[in-house]
Amino acid sequence: MARFLFGLCNYGVYIVLVSKSRFVLRVCTKNRGHHNNRNSMKIALAQINPTIGAFKDNTAKMTSLIDKAKGLSCDLVVFPELVISGYPPLDLLERNDFVNVNIKHLYELVDSVKGIGVICGFVDKNRDTGGKPLHNSAIFFEDGSILYQVQKRLLPNYDVFDENRYFKPGKESSCCLYKGYRLGLTICEDIWNDAELYPRQVFSRRLYPVDPVADLVKGGADLIINISSSPFWIGKTRSKHEMLGNLAKKYQTPLLYVNQVGGNDSLLFDGASMAFDSQGQIAARGLDFEEDFILFDTDTQKGDIHQVSKTQAQSVLKALIMGTRDYVKKCGFSSVLVGLSGGIDSALTVCMAVEAVGKENVTGVFMPSQFTSHTSHKDTEKLSGNLGIRLIQIPITDIFDQFLRSLTPVFKDITTEITGQNIQARIRGTTLMALSNKLGGLVLSTGNKSELAVGYCTLYGDMVGGLAVISDVPKTMVYELAKHINKNGEIIPSSILNKAPSAELKPDQADEDDLCSYEILDKISKAYIEENREPSNIIAMGLDPKAVSETIFRIDRSEYKRYQAPPALKVTAKSFGHGRRYPIARRYLSK
């Protein structure tokens, strides 16, 4: 049976027809006048970590926080974008059953909540005859009644975002009257199109012809609320803070921003929900990379301010640890395996794994060959002891020798050639996957972004695994993060930090014998991959033309390897994977 719900919005009386299969909002307009009966509101900002498709768990978590907000005498509690389903659900949105279950759980939540207003995001169906079949929606309800609903107007379709694939944009922005406030409700990208903010970090021009925030302010909004699922990457936190503060100051209107937290596949969400007063000053802030619950008072325009990361290294470490923990847990694993080489990359990876899932759930695997140095043996044992993890040692020399004997009729003396080096890496990869099959742990690959960029890695060898923890972390940053781990005492042995990087696949091997220095390589890679600079422009930065040419050639020709790499945790503005889509078979190479 359908229900009719009535209320007031910015344009007058609205009527919502609610049935078991749909929401329909109808607005009856009248002359707009300011509502003088304004009450002070205590608003809770609830940043939670949803799991995609875990509707029951997600709504149960929301219910718990709604009860907490009621216990603190809050008038309103605000949750992130698409919190019912988790973000991003990707092609699950093409499944009608997925969308229906999402709506079902929303109805159940609406019917169960009494005594407090709730704003949250969910997937709604497009009731019109044209356009994409879904809306990315926000809903506002109280005491079993739906007070208001809006659809996301600006749908990002760049980098990791592909919302035009699924959603139809909303048509207009209007306000909802609640306790004397005209609430301007927006969803994530809706706040990212102010004309005065350009040029900005990613784009130098505006992407959309409309500005929902400006429209809401023109319509009388005196409190802007934005629900988001905005992924983290280096540099974004500062630009986001500046953007939100500038919007609040520009319109002299308090602004509340509630962001999802947690890792969903490659994407990492930092939370760090914020409230700004009408002068653009920070008034409330949630923790970064943790679930949190903070309050904001509309009368005093003040709220809880919790500490966030103070340095880039700290925020990246938090992001990677959180992303590893969530990937392992949400994929149904409880333990992990890490191949340890005695080098800096595997040392950093295993340290973060211990923080993510606990030392009792981490197994290190050391697989020395005849080319493995005595120092690497000692360093691996010391690192494992410092962390308190189980260490399995499986020498591969005999296996490698048998491999070479089996190939002797075809190949001659390939022990130290690239073929022999790759065989060693693949023996190790096969060993790790065998242990994973038997022990049930998820293999974490340990390659960094610098290596992946230029293809300095072996398919089905050191690239095997279920998650690439640091493959969006440049080598120079690997050292920075490792030093941060050691800031309160030596966990990663100093000899690992100080030795020259080497794959140890042949005698006296060093990475920089095959590559330019990592400092130069990382500068070239960042300019080419993250900033889309042309080779001539990169050379103009004062970098060696030969190093630029060789590095870019390696990057271009290694695309096929990256297509077969495990999912990587994204921490830079442009990571390999879904956010950077280049064809493998192509004739065009940068020159």
Domain of residue 190, CATH code: 3.60.110.10
Q: Do 280 and 183 share a structural domain?
A: yes
- Using DSSP bridges, classify how beta strands 467-468 and 134-142 pair: parallel, antiparallel or unpaired: unpaired
Q: Would you say residue 512 lies in a domain?
A: no
Phi/psi-derived region of residue 470, left when phi > 0, alpha when psi is between -120 and 50, beta in every other case: alpha
Q: Does residue 278 sit in the same domain as residue 366?
A: no
What integer pLDDT is reported at residue 204 of this predicted model? Answer: 65
In a domain, 543, yes or no: no
In eight-state DSSP terms, residue 305 is B
| 492 and 406 both lie in a single domain | yes
- Let me know if residue 552 belongs to a domain: no
Spatial distance between the Cα atoms of 306 and 323, rounded to a whole number of angstroms: 21
Tokens of 518: 């990592």
| E strand segments, 341-419 | 362-366, 390-393
Burial 130-149 (b: 16+ CB within 10 A, else e): eeeebbbbbbbbbeeebbbb
Q: How far apart are CA 567 and CA 555, in angstroms?
A: 18
Residues 262 and 326 in one domain: no
pLDDT in tens, 477-495: 999 999 999 999 999 999 9
At 71, is the secondary structure helix, strand, or coil?
helix
Q: What is the pLDDT of residues 125-151, one digit of tens each?
A: 998 888 999 999 999 999 999 999 999
Give the model confidence (pLDDT) of 38-76 as tens digits: 778 999 999 999 999 999 999 999 999 999 999 999 999
Mean pLDDT, rounded, for 536-558: 95
In a domain, 391, yes or no: yes
Do the domain assignments include residue 354?
yes
Q: Is residue 440 part of a domain?
A: yes
48 and 54 Cβ atoms separated by less than 8 Å: no
CA-CA-CA-CA torsion for 479, 481, 486, 488, nearest 10 degrees? 150
Range of the domain at 345: 314-501+559-563
Contact predicate 404/377, CB 8 Å: no
- pLDDT at residue 2, as a whole number: 43
DSSP alpha helices (H): ranges in 261-343? 312-330
Q: Are residues 227 and 336 in the same domain?
A: no
The mean pLDDT of 554-575, rounded to a whole number, is 95
Select from 435, 29, 75 the least CA-distant residue to 223. Answer: 75
Nearest to 341 by CA among 243, 447, 270: 447
Distance in Å from the first CA to the final CA of the chain? 66
Distance, C-alpha 91 to centroid of its chain: 18
CA 277 to chain centre: 27
One domain, residues 278 and 322: no
Per residue, the 3-state secondary structure of 88-139, as one string, reads CCHHHHHCHHHHHHHHHHHHHHHHHCCCCEEEEEEEEECCCCCCCCEEEEEE
Rounded Cα distance between 194 and 190, Å, is 9
Distance from C-alpha of 59 to C-alpha of 263, rounded to nearest angstrom: 18
- pLDDT score for 395: 97
Chosen domain end from 281, 302, 323: 302
Identify whether 507 is part of a domain: no
Task: Give tens-digit pLDDT for 359-406.
Answer: 999 999 999 999 989 999 999 999 999 999 999 999 999 999 999 999
How long a stretch of residues is the chain? 591
With H, G, I as helix, E, B as strand and everything else as coil, classify residue 436: helix
* The pLDDT of residue 43: 98
Contact 109, 132 (CB under 8 A): no
Q: Within 10 Å of residue 305's Cβ, how many Cβ atoms?
A: 14
Q: Which of 302, 332, 363 is where one domain is finished?
A: 302
> Could you tell me the two tokens for 354?
């211990």
**What pLDDT, in 10s, does the model give residues 169-222?**
999 999 999 999 999 999 999 999 988 875 454 566 788 999 999 999 999 999
DSSP state of 287: P
Based on the fold, state whether residues 394 and 281 are members of the same structural domain: no
Q: What CATH number is given to the structural domain containing 334? A: 3.40.50.620
pLDDT tens-digit profile of 437-476? 999 999 999 999 999 999 999 999 999 999 999 999 999 9
Whether 102 and 64 map to the same domain: the answer is yes
Does one domain contain both 296 and 321? no
* 20 touches 107 (CB < 8 A): yes
Q: Is the per-residue pLDDT at 31 higher than 90?
A: no
Instruction: Say if residue 152 is in the same domain as residue 281.
Output: yes
d(CA 79, CA 135): 17
Regarding pTM above 0.75, the answer is: yes
Domain count, the chain: 2
Among residues 241, 267, 302, the one where a domain terminates is 302
The pLDDT of residue 551: 96
- Per 3-state DSSP, the chain is made up of helix, strand and coil in percentages (nearest 5) of 35, 20, 40
Chain Cα centroid distance, residue 18: 35
With cut-offs at 50, 70 and 90, classify the pLDDT of residue 340.
very high
> d(Cα 324, Cα 91) in Å, to the nearest integer?
23
Question: Is residue 513 a part of any domain in this protein?
Answer: no
Question: 383 and 263: one domain?
Answer: no
Tally DSSP H helices, then E strands, for the chain: 17, 23
* Single-letter residue type at 102: N
Residue-level pLDDT at 500: 87
Q: Are residues 298 and 318 in the same domain?
A: no
Q: Would you name the residues annotated as active-site residues?
A: 81, 152, 188
